[in-house]
Chain A
């Protein structure tokens, strides 16, 4: 099945699959092991992977990807309302619609590059947001948002039990069904919706891996390195960029559809420019142009948004309650502005640190850490045979050199 050219890709794919499927087990100890957040991790992971195909490969920075997320959401909920609560038609329809929408916007926006492209996409996204919010209210239900209703026509499976709105399902498996398994004092929540999204994420990750390694991916990288030169060599680069734009728009549409399938409500705020900015943050934080980075970035930002924002003052007081009262008050006063409603501050700080010290994102950080460990291990081996200075001394200078070289390159 995995016919990747590199064995390292195969390892990456296998590790990624295992990590995603073991989500409930890994996330439960950090308080994120509940279906809603796990689904968000996975869905925004798909969104960020798609965004990375455009931004990471071609270097075109789109500031309007939330528009495709929103279009995907609205298409999906209309399919759930009109056709069937089965999520398959909803997903297919929304991917097609967002693909067409991306084709339209991409065709116009890609006539410009750099900041002009970013501003064009931003303008289109804000336009879509404002349309969804006001003019298109009959289709989008405006600010209130669109939901499933009891009297939806649902042509294919309309005759369901009365009195309850059916929840989205995949051939009988309801997305909201959860099995709770006690394990080492934690409640692991195995949720159908999470696993459906997780399988799609793995498939999409594989697809993005294949795109990265393909001649098409090479072409996109060529656009990033120097589009003018590419044009002079006789290639028409625009169709390639447009294809990448449409693919990433379809990824976003898929993510939007999954959001609706997991929680059947589509609201206009999903298309707002903050949502577009969020996916840019995710990608840069994790590492633009890397395979796993966007998923990592999506996870971190959603974790902050959902877990850090819920830590209120009384929880912080609980942490320090063992200390003397004066010390507790000081610590609470120092720490609490960064938690709860101040979660944006801590996220901003982390983002700054990442951009300044790890321009390649968290993936670069992980790589450096890995290098450090490998070198430590190797020097310990050689150090043991040579029996001289401590292993740490042998490593630090080399590490510092690499550090400095990065900094000078950046400055």
Chain B
């Protein structure tokens, strides 16, 4: 480098570049705060991420109603709903920790990608401290792991797959809703009583995490009764016409059809099955039967007359007569002129449980909230005595077995509760084979 001169200009240029290089790494460190999206003293933002389009849009709309109602009650508006009946009486209708509760909403489109984009926008743009919602387990699993990485709490809404608190469980994620294993465990005795122990079952299954675990759980439970599984067929979540899947059932020799479908899927597949005359058929000398392991009133309404006499399980039903359920149904009905669905119930309860945990912990720090919720026992929220198990962040409570009513008295009175299966009958070990393979990891406060 014989022709290299270090003049003043070059020196200045060089040192500017060097300086920028040295500063660059220090720019990319987060602003100092104890945890992600630490709220100010005035208000706290919750993110309600529900499907507003796609096969679960009905459930999503009802979830959103419940969330809005929960925010009202937390802020001291309305009649207070289940705040009065909740066994923990720390929530006084003054917001959470003295801060007014605000919320943002997003559309998951029942797609993992869109749901994560929406959740990230809530966390990064709107400063949400907690994300809740989801009417699909695929979405719930995807958003739960996003929340774990971002360092916010995820209060799962309607998600029924074993994996949510099984192999995909996360320390920052909590589920109040029951799961596929519990459905199967609650249904099996009722099915045995009504349909006997010598049956041949044919499964149609929504092709994603919930369907897979639902099918696995139902197969295990029914085979224990002595049933035989003839065939299992996976159907795409986006399918709207199931006739091509129903037709082979009639020739398979099966005498029970188990529809591991939910939402719009179930409405369509059940309607198709009834149109094919399956329920009038006699196979192997027995009446052909249809079972829908996971039921909801919204689906029952969508399927109309087809649901009459069909068994399924549900997390909660508005006709329950305990104080909590009555208070919730009354306040929901006053607000929206219709009784809440099970999706609405679980979302409402999850919001209250989060607020209560923050209040008891005295902080919004995700780790403090995890500590407050783990192993927490509560009552008065519509499901009787309930435990948030520390090992997998799953709630354990009674499960309802329901049947489509033959003579509904109103457009909401579509299901009758056949049996309340007590919590201890549906409890399993945290390392049960259907739930093994996951680990909570450590709580992540972000920042």
Contact = CB atoms under 8 A, between A and B. Distances in A.
Interface of A: 31, 34-37, 40, 133-134, 142-145, 147-148, 150-151, 162-165, 167, 173, 176-180, 189-190, 192, 263, 265, 267, 269-270, 306, 309-310, 312, 341
A190 B53 CA distance: 33
B441 A269 contact: no
Nearest to B145: A147
Given A145-B138, A163-B441, A309-B107, A176 B150 contact: yes
B29 A179 contact: yes
Contact of A263 (B120, B148, B439): B120
A369 to B, nearest CB: 30
Interface stretch (B109-117, B224-232, B306-314, B317-325): B109-117
B444 A164 contact: yes
Contacts of A176: 149-150
Contact of A150 (B30, B106, B441): B441
Contacts of B29: 177, 179
B30 A178 contact: yes
B146 A134 contact: no
B124 interface: yes
Contacts, number: 115
Nearest to A195: B28
B142 to A, nearest CB: 6
Contacts of A269: 111-114
Query: Which of the listed residues B28, B106, B118, B171 has the most CB atoms from chain A within 10 Å of its own CB?
Result: B28
B441 A165 contact: yes
Nearest to B440: A163
B121 interface: yes
Nearest to A161: B442
Nearest to A177: B28
Interface string B138-162: 1001100110111000000000000
Contacts of A265: 112-113, 116, 142, 145-146
Contacts of B444: 164
Nearest to B113: A267
B55 to A, nearest CB: 12
Interface of B: 25, 27-31, 52-53, 104-107, 111-114, 116-118, 120-121, 124-125, 137-138, 141-142, 145-146, 148-150, 163, 171, 207-209, 234, 236-237, 439, 441-442, 444
A143 B149 CA distance: 21
A192 B28 contact: yes
A312 B105 contact: yes
A147 B207 contact: no
B234 A310 contact: no
A249 B415 CA distance: 53
Nearest to A182: B31
Given A31-B125, A147-B141, A265-B112, 5 more contacts: A134-B207, A134-B234, A173-B28, A179-B31, A263-B120
13 contacts: A34-B121, A36-B120, A134-B236, A147-B142, A148-B145, A164-B148, A177-B28, A190-B27, A263-B120, A267-B112, A269-B113, A270-B113, A341-B107
Nearest to A35: B124
A163 to B, nearest CB: 3
Contacts of A164: 148, 441-442, 444
B37 to A, nearest CB: 11
Contacts of B124: 34-36, 178, 189
A133 B236 contact: yes
A144 B31 contact: no
Contacts of A40: 117
